[in-house]
Structure 1
């Protein structure tokens, strides 16, 4: 039999073997996507790290929309971000300390922790050679492979004691920016034919500054660096239920090594329904800038957005990217912070007209989506709606948008891994799937 035809035949047979009636999920009480009928997540674990609040539940168990809140170790996100804006200082390192330990550091602890991160930012020369060998590959894949390779350089990779987990976490947080920066510079050289620059991280810079230095040399402003720092903060953690963090917790529950678990989280985040959504949003924005002649004309914009929802325009998916969230209802606190940051950056970059247009897309996109759904369930802009625009204004290429998300979320991943392996009564995470296919009688090969 022709091998290409065999692949086609196997694929065609999958059409039938994968059929599961939608009503069967209701019949057997299955929570598709680990979601309840009211849209809330199925409770599968407990955590002390992040808390995502998008609705309130009354005494009768009914959900009611509310303004979104995000808490890191009990502290509301806005309360952590506001002092950094006022004091014009970098804070990602401080937030990393908080998420890993559960406590805000004092000045001496923060200084020592920052120095520890800086000490661990340089890469082993073997990792650099490995990145060069992978030139042209997807940077998220390079990141995952480099993480797996770190296992071979670790003198004690399988030790899951608290001390060793913390050491590994700090090394991963410190090395992610360097791996991503080097991978992009090599991609830029091999694919785009540009000059190759490998810049070593500097001791006296924050992680955000060091990343921009390694990517752009000194071609960035102080506001660029502070905006990247704050963007990393709002992406650092989002509870245990988001897909990539849950992936890290599931794999950690088997007591596998740190590098295997984190590589799995990277694979999850890469997906366009998760971390890859920021590229979908900025590409949609570019399209709308071309498609809408008058950026202030609400009627023209609404007409086009409704055509998108009807699958008649843009990419015919029926989606307005960046609008809607699985948990948040009235607002996503991360999007609220990024909207404010985008406004500050747009003013410096002379891109206020685009920023105002993006805000109009948000407002009208929510209205059009709710009308299209014929539902009073509120929707809001999510994190991805503004993040791509901020990256673009800083001058960062799309190839590293999702890797920067990973560079931020590695803090939350490692914090959740440590918690998963250290709380009392831990068990391997092993949910059930019900098989709904009846038994079959075996047929000898000569009779098939």
Structure 2
């Protein structure tokens, strides 16, 4: 129920609705001590924060520590795609414009392509990189949403109706669907933004077809900008962003969602839409936007961005819930797996520095660097933690997107444009291995009651 509908309720109806809210909250409340009593792994994580093992994968490996004599020792983070270190992929690739496409091939097929394989793969993606005028008019342009993740879900679910064989979950058919979605996702996202800009912000409606021969990163910038122009470094940095966000293990919320929903035997469009719904959540995909807003707040409240003491004093205010959003969090700091460092952040920081030099934003970059340097120690001291707290990939990604002139509404959709490669690889892996439907257990902690008649309810005799 939105605010407008709430305003239309009578005083009596508002009171009745508030009573329903109260009853719903009371009914849903569970004693937190029961989670300890029954050893429930909330969030599928144990008391030490380790993930509960729920599956096997060969697609990627996320390493934040090494095991030595049964003890976990924090190390610099490493990320592997199909066994290859992402740092090596980025440094070693000869395809300076198409790293994301090369990584997509690797994730889907398990090996790096040779020239012939890669050229064939690019031709297939290019051929699939189109949307009909009717689809753009009837789906994307109708009922535009301020949150473009909802627009993405709507478009992908609608593509089901344009598929002659949507429910076939054989590997050949799902691979076909996956390649189509990977190719079309940038169009769905950028066109959704253009529709939003036109209908909600009264901007000019500009729909461009993707340019043949351009990479995914180049086409995003080309379709998004009025003049279609971009520098070589801009396209390269966005391409790196897509690579770093393409995949991150089977246990992250949206990828685990892919496995769970796929295991039910549902269609590709439903499965990917569910993954996007997960990524939309601010605890998962929206963190970089939070980082951006936090830095805008820091910039507004710190007179001298180079004054370490002033900046640290304000960071302590944020941690003490006295500043910014009063949540007590320094966004972009900390990760569930990485401790010493997040390899994605380390890589992206290098490119953020180069881009800041091209854009004349070295002062802003220096502030990010200062906060990164100090925040980990402040958090450890304030929260009495004994393991390092490192910056994660979200720390610099929003800053990079802002320097590229990408509107905030597209921050999370760009994450989805990248991560769909990983989602599709995991969906195919789940189908190839023909696993059981994923069905974890929930323990019932209520109590059984005899049915209560309406008369007893009216007389207040219903047991609680």
TM-score bucket (shorter structure): over 0.9
- The answer on 1:308 being equivalent to 2:321 is no
* Structure 1 unaligned spans of 5+: none
Question: Which residue does 1:150 correspond to in 2?
Answer: 159
Say whether 1:413 aligns with 2:423.
Answer: yes
Q: Confirm whether residue 95 of structure 1 aligns to residue 100 of structure 2.
A: no
Conserved? CA contact 2:97–2:235, under 8 Å: no
Instruction: Provide the rounded CA distance (Å) in 1 between the counterparts of 2:437 and 2:145.
Output: 37
Q: 1:356 aligned to 343, 349, 366, which one?
A: 366
Residue 191 of structure 2: which of 182, 193, 206 is its match? Answer: 182
Distance 1:135 1:429 in 2: 34
Among 315, 318, 323, the alignment partner of 2:328 is 318
User: Which one of 118, 140, 159 corresponds to residue 149 of structure 2?
Assistant: 140
Is residue 113 of structure 1 aligned with residue 121 of structure 2? yes
Equivalence for 1:369: 379
Distance 1:221 1:395 in 2: 12
- Which stretch of the first structure deviates more once superposed, 231-240 or 87-96? 87-96
1:257 equivalent in alignment to 2:267: yes
Contact 1:148 1:263 in 2 (8 A): yes
1-structure distance, mates of 2:280, 2:96: 32
C-alpha deviation, 1:367, in angstroms: 1.1
Q: Is the 8 A contact 1:119 1:203 kept in 2?
A: no
1:376 CA drift (Å): 1.4
Change (3 A) 1:151 1:188: same
CA distance in 1, matches of 2:129, 2:193: 16
Partner of 1:224: 234
Return the offset for 1:285: 1.0
Partners of 1:318 and 1:215 lie apart in 2 by 35
Identify the match of residue 39 of structure 1 among 45, 49, 55: 49
Whether the 8 Å contact between 2:348 and 2:397 is mirrored in structure 1 is: yes
Distance in 2 between the 1:134 and 1:158 partners?
A: 26
Q: Which runs of 5+ in 2 are unaligned?
A: 1-10, 458-464
Cα distance between partner residues in 2 of 1:228 and 1:201: 16
Q: If the length of structure 1 is used for normalisation, what is the TM-score?
A: 0.97
Give a deviation string over 1:66-102, Cα, whole Å, max 9, x none.
Answer: 1111100000110011134x87433111100000000
Q: Residues 136 and 190 of structure 1 are in contact (CA less than 8 Å); yes or no, is this contact kept in structure 2?
A: no
Structure 1, residues 293-351: CA drift from partner, whole Å, max 9, x if none? 11111111111111111101111000000001111111111111111110110111111
**1:144, CA displacement in angstroms?**
0.4
Instruction: Work out whether 1:403 is the aligned partner of 2:413.
Output: yes
CA distance in 2, matches of 1:4, 1:46: 50
Q: Is the 8 A contact 1:31 1:42 kept in 2?
A: yes
> Which residue, out of 436, 440, 448, partners 2:449?
440
Q: Partners in 2 of 1:57 and 1:6 — Cα distance?
A: 57
- Indicate the residue corresponding to 2:77 in structure 1: 68
* 1:109-133, Cα deviation, whole Å (9 max, x unpaired): 1111111111111112332011111
The residue aligned with 1:266 is 276
Q: CA deviation at 1:136?
A: 4.2
Shift of 1:139: 0.9
Matched, 1:347 2:357: yes
Instruction: Give the secondary-structure state (helix, strand or coil) at the position aligned to 1:56.
Output: strand
Provide the C-alpha distance between the structure 2 equivalents of 1:439 and 1:243, rounded to a whole number of angstroms.
Answer: 33
Which range is displaced more, 217-226 or 415-424?
A: 217-226
Residues 271-304 of structure 1 show CA distances to partners (whole Å, capped at 9, x for unaligned) of: 1110011100111111111111111111111111
Work out the CA distance in 2 between the residues paired with 1:138 and 1:258.
22
In 1, Cα distance between equivalents of 2:390 and 2:135: 41
Counterpart check, 1:79 vs 2:83: no
Partner Cα separation in structure 2 for residue 220 and residue 402 of structure 1: 21
Q: C-alpha separation between the residues in 1 aligned to 2:169 and 2:288?
A: 34
Cα separation, 2, equivalents of 1:375 and 1:388: 27
Would the aligned equivalents of 2:145 and 2:151 in 1 still touch at CA under 8 Å?
no
**Do the aligned residues in 2 keep the contact of 1:140 with 1:270 (CA within 8 Å)?**
yes
Distance 2:289 2:347 in 1: 19
User: What SS does the aligned partner of 2:46 have?
Assistant: coil
Q: Helix, strand or coil: the match of 2:141?
A: helix
**Distance in 1 between residues matched to 2:108 and 2:372, nearest whole Å:** 34
1:382 aligns with 2:392: yes
Provide the C-alpha distance between the structure 2 equivalents of 1:150 and 1:89, rounded to a whole number of angstroms: 29
SS at match of 1:68: strand
